Structure formats: C-alpha cells, structure tokens
Copies of this chain bind each other. A is one copy, B any other.
Amino acid sequence: MRVGILTAGGDCPGLNAVIRAAARRLMSEGHEPVGLLRGYRGLAEPELRMELDDRAVSGILHLGGTIVSTSSFDPFMEPQGVERVLAAQQSHPLDAIIGIGGEHTQWITARLHEQLGLPVVGVPKTIDNDVVGTDYTFGFDTAVQVATDAIDRLHTTAQSHDRVMIVEVMGRNSGWIALYSGIAGGADGILVPEIDTTVEELVATIERRHNKGKNFSIIVVAEGAKLAFEGQEAEQILASEETDEYGYVRLGGIGAILGQELEKRTGFETRITVLGHVQRGGTPTATDRVLATRYGIKAADMVMAGEFGRMAALVDNKITSIPLTDVDGVKPIDFEILEEAKVFFG
C-alpha cells in the first residue's frame, strides 16, 4: 500500500512524532508512506509529495513543526478542488490517506470519505485540546507547560512589585490551556470562553487577597474568554476595538481590556503578557511525544486494517478510534476541574 500522510491547519508540537510513528509502522509491514506537502494541497497536486523513507523520518521525533509542511487548503472550498483531488487519485493513486489536523481538518477528512469515498483515517491535532471524542490531543501538554513556565517567572516579579499580572494564553473556543496552566501556575483567577466572568468578581478576588496580606495576583485568561460587566456585556467594549487602524485587535485583545479595567477599578498596577505563538512551536514534552507516537501507530494500524472513515482517539486512557462523523463541534473544558480550581481564588 502507498499511504499519504498530511498535516493541515496550525502548527502543533508533536506533528513530526505522529508522522514518524505512522511511517515506521507502515514500513515495518512493507507499505510505502508518502508525505503530502502543504496539507490537503498535496492531495490535489501530485507534484507536492515527498518520500517518507527511513532516512526522512529519522531524528525528527523531538522537532517542532512538520516536515511535510502545512496549510489550510480545503478542497471543498478551492476552485476545482474536488476535481483536482480525484484527478490526482487517478494519476498518482494512494491506497490510504492519514489526515492529521484539528476539527476543521477532520470535517474535510470526513467529507472526503463520505462524499468521495476516499480511504482516509484522521488523527486529532490541536494545542487547544478541544477536539470532540478524544480525551487529550498532543500539543496540549506542551502548550500548558510553556504557559506554566511563563507564569512561574511572572510570579516572582508580581510578588516583588505588588502587581496584578494578566497572562493571555491561547484558546479561542475553549479554555483548556487557561484552565490547566492556571492550576499549574497557581493562578488567582482563570477566564475561559465557556463561562462569562464579570469584572466585579475578579475585583472582589483581588481585594480579598490584599485583605489577607497578599499584595499580588495572577489572572490567566484564554484569548477567547468573554468579559462580562454587571449589567452589560463585554461585546460592546470589544466592538469599539475593531475600528483600530493599526491592527491592534490582534494584540489589544481580552488581556489588554481586562488589564485596563482591573487597574482602573482596583488601583493596583497591572501588567499584561500575551504569550502568543511561543505556545505552539518548539520541542514537544515527553508526554506529547508518547501520545503523538501512539496516535501515529494507531493510524497506521487503522489503515492496515481497512478502518477508514474513523479518527484515532484516546478514550479512558486507551488508544481507540471513533467515526469521523462524531467529531463535531468544540469539546468544552471539564467544568469539574474549574470548580476545583476555584478553591484557590482569593
């Protein structure tokens, strides 16, 4: 079998570990893995392919990024996209395709299977840990560790200067990174997209702490968190930002607004750190390498068993697979863990 392997969507620590594991497993049974470059573009354009032999996948386990590169190419959106995919399958047929990507990628993968009948399997990928149907995705542990290291460093500087420190972490639709790094970093407040937090609650937390003699606070906020105000909604304030002519919406997001409001209301000096893309690059943690490796082997095994139309998944601590059609929407945080975290607020 000739098996295409591709990575689509954003960068994520562990992509190379999946590619290596899938390729090595396939080679061990005599199959031929081939890298499809730039995500699904490599499925549509046969010249965008590379051999994934033993040499190509050596020494890449610990590297960030992806050796087959990535893109957000969507054959169902591109002009002639589906036609080009089918033509490429005619001229340069693949016996199976492993699509590594996030929610949107899995949606493409599902349609390729259902509508075009292509022999595909999916591997979930996102630092945000919000893919439905799998307990953890690789890349998440690394992102949490990077954010936690940053919070550790901010702690000493917050303490020395009686400051409120706001750390904006990734998480547009879900607050997994904020929740885990907030607990691991000992945050005094955690804002996630799943739940509205009012400025008044945060102000109360900070004041409770100061009354106890703790003159600094750390607030971790997911980039997609909503800030509510008693009696009004954050959207109004956020909306006014969108007109900014210098593109500061990108940086001047929820963290900046929150900082502004807290400083105004508590009188404490406030500093904002936006971690940004450092959370999604670089060497994966050991945990992510193990998980990514296991997903890669599973995907190869699924290909060899003909289990198409399914995605590798971690369920109750076991590697298994689920139908691609079940991968729908965004997996919210575990609210029980957020309740536990509240023990430490204020």
What's the minimum C-beta distance from A93 to chain B, rounded to whole angstroms? Answer: 26
Interface string of A179-198 (1 = CB under 8 A from B): 01101111000000000000
Contact check, A287 vs B144: say whether CB atoms are below 8 A apart: yes
- A18 and B316 CA atoms in complex are apart in Å by 23
How far does the Cβ of A39 sit from chain B's closest Cβ, in whole Å? 10
Asked if A282 is at the interface of the complex by the 8 Å CB criterion, the answer is yes
- Provide the bound-state CA to CA distance between A157 and B156, in Å: 23
A282 touches B252 (CB 8 A): no
Q: Which residue of B lies closest to A24 (CB)?
A: B343
Total chain A interface residues with beta-carbon distance under 8 A? 84
A62 within 8 Å of B (CB atoms): yes
Residues of chain B lying within 8 A (CB to CB) of residue A145: 285-287
The prevalent SS among residues of A at the interface is helix
Cβ A156 vs Cβ B282 within 8 A: yes
B272–A11 contact, CB under 8 A?
no
| CB-based closest 7 A-B pairs | A64-B156, A153-B282, A65-B156, A316-B316, A157-B281, A184-B286, A148-B286
22 residue pairs A–B, Cβ–Cβ below 8 Å: A10-B161, A11-B156, A25-B343, A58-B214, A63-B156, A64-B155, A64-B156, A65-B157, A66-B160, A144-B286, A148-B286, A150-B278, A152-B281, A156-B282, A251-B256, A252-B252, A271-B276, A271-B277, A273-B274, A273-B275, A273-B278, A274-B276
Q: From A316, which residue of chain B is reached at the shortest CB distance? A: B316
- Which chain A residues numbered 192 to 225 have a C-beta less than 8 Å away from chain B? 212, 214
Least CB separation from A276: chain B residue: B273
Contact of A155 with B281 in the complex, beta carbons under 8 Å: yes
Does A337 sit within 8 A of B, measured CB to CB? Answer: yes
B297 touches A61 (CB 8 A): no
Centre residue among A10, A141, A184 by max chain B CB count within 10 A: A184
Q: Which of A103-111, A228-236, A241-249 contacts B (4 or more CB under 8 A)?
A: A241-249
